[in-house]
Structure 1
């Protein structure tokens, strides 16, 4: 089931399908669903958000993904 594009910061399940600035000879496309971090990039339009994928130093544009559900926040009991 596909979910809407995120509109707030947090962690989400996603698949990277259209990597931006991928070096020649590397394949950053997701094989499986993975947890990514969406952060506010203080921009506008497609630059409003930046998405960080484990193992990829370069932040990705939000339109490069198929989106799954948001990962619930974890709160450690005191």
Structure 2
């Protein structure tokens, strides 16, 4: 069986993650680690990301919605 290198796996995961959620680099790496631990066969079949995993990461780690941040007299940008 051909194995996809781990780095390619991680890159694919990061590309998809970064598009879906504006996480900091550390949280993206944490997500990769969690994902690789949970799906240890990812090297054989590429990375199949479940929307639920990303959605949960967004809920857990995403910054608060910008409309809740006080902008002073400037108002939202």
Q: TM-score range by the shorter chain?
A: under 0.3
Structure showing the higher strand proportion among its residues: 1
Normalised TM-score (structure 2): 0.24
Is the helix fraction higher in 1 or 2? 2
